[in-house]
Structure 1
Amino acid sequence: MAVDEPASSASMAMVKMASTLILGMLGLVLMRACRVFVWGPRRLRSRLRGQGVGGPPPCHLLLGNIPDIKKIRAEEAQRARECRKDGVLSHAWPSLLFPHLQKWRTQYGPIFMYSAGHIQFLSISDVEMVKELTTYTSLGLGKPSYLSKDRGALLGQGILSSSGSTWAYQRKIIAPELYLDKVKGMVSLMVDSANSLIGSWESRIESSGGTAEIRIDDDLRSLSADIISRACFGSSYSQGKEIFLKLRELQQVMSHGSVGVAGMRYLPTKINRQIWQLDKQIRSTILEVVKARTQASHEKDLLQVILKGANNEGLPSNISADKFIVDNCKNIYFAGHETTAITASWCLMLLAAHPHWQARVRAEVLEIFGGGILDSDKLRGMKTLTMVVHETLRLYPPAVFSIREALEDIKFKGLLIPQGSNIQIPIHIMHQLPEIWGTDASEFKPERFAQGISGACKSVQAYMPFGMGPRTCAGQHFALAELKVILSLILAEFSFSLSPSYHHSPAFRLVVEPGDGVILHMRKV
């Protein structure tokens, strides 16, 4: 027995050492977690509070103000169900979908802070502060890191969510392909795609005896998907259909997920498993499209530029070639068709609800278009249509927030914003501020844009449907041209009114969309 004692003692010593090492590692992990999820957020709040910035105190150690947000939303649920009363459309949906922001703005002022889990938001709807933010060009102000993490399956490190040199490189590669001179050459392609939808609706109306009830939003998604596919990727909607459907499904699944809750995205919940599966399928399909492209010759388009950028020596070292391709394709697929289709849906809904404006725009379209060939010059001459589009984007901006993360300490208007703070500009609030837009800010009045954006409000920086500053959406010229093509061709061929079955229910699913779709009664002009 004495021979075994040294070996036994050595084993016990090794077990003790391993236990000490494991406990030490767990201690380090715990300390890091506390620093990231508890002490760090407290330090940010303390620095802002010391400068006079107020806000609701976090009611939960890990969830922050998320329980408060859910409670306030629950209290407003009945009002949301009554968004349309007595046949009158209400466009005051911001107070229904985001009542916590309205409540806290009233309570703490246009600059306040709150917590969504460990993410610290500094909500800013002060116009003068927003002006400074729009002119800030330093890379020290970037997109929040949680976008590429909690929303990683949809956005990854693409142009919509990256920061610093990674974003600058992607912008340099992608933006020139969407400049106005390039978009002008895409108008005929947009017209061809839209005419296919027009023909489909004409057949349905004819077979229904002259009038048909059509849910337009799904058809407009398909149309917009076809346009972005053909214009930027050299393929038709039928080839990219799987990608679009999977992205739409991913968007809907992610809208039910939580952002900012520590470690939540790693847990094998039902939602996370769906996200992981969809992400894998979308990535695989995009790479199949890319493989097919590399094996055939094509004219230069956006996909070709992305492929070239992925193999360029200037590609940042923190992103692989495949990830560069997949993430930017997902960003362009999502932003390039979803937001435009939603805006077109809202625009047709508003014109259906305001027949006098529908008649005015149709008269202008028929006068300028006249059944001839629609081109960029004719689109530019449609002033009334442009007013309607601007007003639609004001009342129903697809993206409701413009968000930036302070990647270093930054000072605006005497306020030092600590590194790690997430600056959140609520676009939907800015677009309906009575002191900027007038007492009729929540009403549909396209005439306010008769003299352009500068004549519509007291501060042009308060209008930001395509974002702000150097991060303004690279595809805004493409989106506006596409909207005008779709709307002008539809107005030239059809008149329409709201179906009695239409229920006005704006819903936030990463973007603001018609919750129950847009259903119209349509007939040939």
Structure 2
Amino acid sequence: MMMILSPRQWLLLLPPFFLSTLLFSYLYTILWLRPERLRQKLRSQGVKGPKPSFLFGNIPEMRRIQKLATPYQEEGAGPTDRFSSNYVAILFPYFLHWTRVYGSIYLYATGSIQTLHVIDPDMVKELASCKSLDLGKPSYLQKEHGALLGTGILTANGDLWVHQRKVIAPEFFMDKVKGMVNLMMDAALSMLNSWEEKVESEGGRAEILVDEFLRNFSADVISRASFGSSFVEGKEIFYKIRQLQKAMAKRSMLIGVPGSRYLPTKSNREIWNLGSCIRSLILNIAKKHGQDSATTPNKFFLHSIIEGSKSASFSSCTPEDFIVDNCKNIYFAGHETTSSTAAWCLMLLAAHPEWQDRARVEVLDVCHGEALDFDKLRKLKTLTMVIQETLRLYPPASFVTREALKDLNLGGIDIPKGTNIRVSIMLAHRDPSAWGADCDKFDPGRFAGGIARACKPHHMYMPFGVGPRTCAGQNLAMVEVKVVLSLLLSRFEFALSPSYDHRPVFRLTVEPGSGVPLILRKL
């Protein structure tokens, strides 16, 4: 029997019906229609790529390819070549697969995010030379990594980023870094003295898992140089940021799936709690610094951030956000990436004793048993080549990421507003056409004539990014790694422990999955 509804009952039913229709139309536009229009504009120009699914884009295919991934081994590779083999085949096999199928420029989707994947040298060059603020950082970085990065210098765009760069970049100019060498030495010597005690207590030979020591060393340098505090004072912040980094890496595949960051999953709840805790800890240090600044003659990086927050007038960023987000950016970028680079350097030197010996001879010859200073560090050419080659094989940033904030043209391609652009640094650094047939092998000698002779074109080497948004702290990172390596080489011989498991993992940076255990022997 059919129910007959009165006009009033029909009126009560209409609002939910219209609301559901509007909601469906909105979701259809956001999740499919708008991305499809963008894809069509790029397809019409010959840009190809894997076919996306509704809602999830190419995530299902990425997961399928990931499951099929097997370790890459060069045919005829020697016993140490596995330490520099192409780990991209394990961590990001879908990028390798799609590059082989679609070429050096292709389009793929993660949820509603449409990304132009690029390793074409000409487009990389144009990307590097583009100074327009219309080419900015992807909006998803603030949305998906907000707890870790917020709207700091690593993610901000437009006038806010320009202001942040003016405040932060001068703190890492080489003239400033020169004055940090002594505090780097103090932090490194404290670490090495503890290693020396362990070696002596175990009869002149000991196994040490170096990763946590290197993180603490790097954290100590950042704390003293930037915030005027010791690592002990900032220890909890570094620990929480490390935990937050791991938690965010777990959900990296879901970036772009609408609403995923709002779901009360175990991982999301952990991220929310850590983000709130880190914010409170940083604001407490900033408050203490503000109280002490009147009686403290030295003005640290934190002072510049606090002053910068006062002169910033941006609706998208409160003074507290300015302080917290930029401190988090420096804590993360300045601490995690440097310690990871140092760990990879030690692993490669341990795996290649001939280069370890060459670097040690140079250090002993330059220093003559005297204390390190900036001028001596500049003379360490072999050690510089070792670090450059390590940065090539294990770059601290895996990708250069940008977003077209307005319609623009790059490399002859009209790129619609909202398109993300991703350059795989790892693939560019292992491109045989730029680096030669031995691109997967550890050979610091390729940098003997400088970067320009190491690869052609030279802009395919980009360990610290490209263009106006190149890492502001690269001078600090290079000097810091030089200090710790030169001091270690002058005190110890080291080899990889038999327990070392070569398993690079991606935790927003590529790092040794099981750490780097070394067998140390005092010289």
TM-score (normalizing by structure 1): 0.94
Give 1:22 shift: 4.9
1:452/1:79 Cα in 2 relative to 1: closer, same or farther (>3 Å)?
Answer: closer
Structure 2 distance, partners of 1:430, 1:348, is 23
Q: Match of 1:463?
A: 461
Q: What residue number does 2:265 align with?
A: 269
Aligned residues: 510
Q: Which of residues 162, 171, 182 is equivalent to 2:165?
A: 171
Offset from partner CA, 1:203-233 (integer Å, 9 cap, x none): 1111111001000011100110000010001
CA distance in 2, matches of 1:357, 1:87: 13
Distance 2:21 2:320 in 1: 37
Q: Which residue of 1 aligns with 2:444?
A: 446
- After superposition, the C-alpha distances for 1:220-262 in whole angstroms (9 at most, x for unaligned) are 0011000001000100100000000000000001111121111
Letter in 2 for 1:115: A
Shift of 1:87: 6.1
Give the aligned CA root-mean-square deviation in angstroms: 1.7
- Counterpart of 1:354 in structure 2: which amino acid? H
Change (3 A) 1:16 1:224: farther
CA contact (8 A) 2:137 2:403 kept: yes
Q: 2-side partners of 1:18 and 1:385: how far apart? A: 76
Compute the displacement of 1:88 (Å): 4.8
Shift of 1:17: 5.9
User: Helix, strand or coil: the match of 2:400?
Assistant: strand
Give, in whole Å, the separation in 2 of the partners of 1:17 and 1:228. 64
Cα deviation, residue 374, structure 1: 1.1
Q: Are 1:507 and 2:505 counterparts? A: yes
User: Aligned AA for 1:64?
Assistant: G
Instruction: Note the 1:85-96 alignment, pairs <5 A.
Output: 88-91=81-84, 92-96=86-90
Q: Alpha-carbon deviations, 1:253-279, whole Å to 9, x = none?
A: 111112111100011011100100111
Q: Helix, strand or coil: the match of 2:292? A: coil
In 2, distance between residues paired with 1:62 and 1:340? 37
Aligned to 2:65: 72
Unaligned runs of 5+ in 2: 1-5
Greater Cα offset, 169-178 or 365-374: 365-374
- Which residue in the other structure is 1:333 paired with? 331
Query: Which deviations, in whole Å up to 9, do the C-alpha atoms of 1:473-497 show, x marking residues without a partner?
Result: 0001111110111111111111100
- Identity of aligned pairs, percent? 52
User: Are residues 164 and 524 of structure 1, via their aligned partners in 2, closer, same or farther at CA, if it must alter by over 3 Å?
Assistant: same
User: In structure 1, what is the Cα distance between the partners aligned to 2:228 and 2:79?
Assistant: 47
Contact 2:497–2:517 under 8 Å retained in 1: yes
1:231-380 pair list within 5 angstroms: 231-257=225-251, 258-297=254-293, 298=296, 299-312=298-311, 314-380=312-378
Distance 2:80 2:373 in 1: 38
Instruction: Name the structure 2 match of 1:61.
Output: 54
Write the distance in 1 (CA, Å) between the matches of 2:15 and 2:332.
47
Structure-1 residue corresponding to 2:202: 208
Runs of 4+ in 1 over 3 A off after TM superposition: 15-30, 77-80, 84-88
Secondary structure at the counterpart of residue 370 of structure 2: coil
Residue 175 to residue 39, structure 1, CA distance change in 2 (3 Å): same
**In structure 2, the residue corresponding to 1:89 is in which secondary structure?**
helix
Give yes or no for contact 2:209–2:518 (8 Å, CA) kept in 1: yes
The within-5 A match list for 1:402-441 is 402-441=400-439
Trace 1:186-225 onto structure 2 (pairs within 5 A). 186-225=180-219
Gap regions ≥5 residues in structure 1: 1-8
Cα pair 2:70 2:89 within 8 Å, conserved: no
Deviation, 1:436, is 0.4
Structure 1 SS opposite 2:250: coil
Structure 1 distance, partners of 2:90, 2:78, is 14
Q: What's the counterpart of residue 109 of structure 2?
A: 115
TM-score by length of 2: 0.95
Q: Tell me the residue number matched to 2:221.
A: 227
Rounded Cα–Cα distance in structure 1 between residues aligned with 2:235 and 2:352:
34
Is contact 1:190–1:485 with CA below 8 Å preserved after alignment? Answer: yes
> Given that residues 71 and 89 in structure 2 are in contact (C-alpha distance below 8 angstroms), is that contact kept between their aligned partners in structure 1?
no
Q: What is the rounded CA distance, in whole Å, between the counterparts of 1:30 and 1:452 in structure 2?
A: 57
Distance 1:213 1:295 in 2: 44
Which residue matches 1:5? none
Match of 1:52 among 39, 46, 59: 46
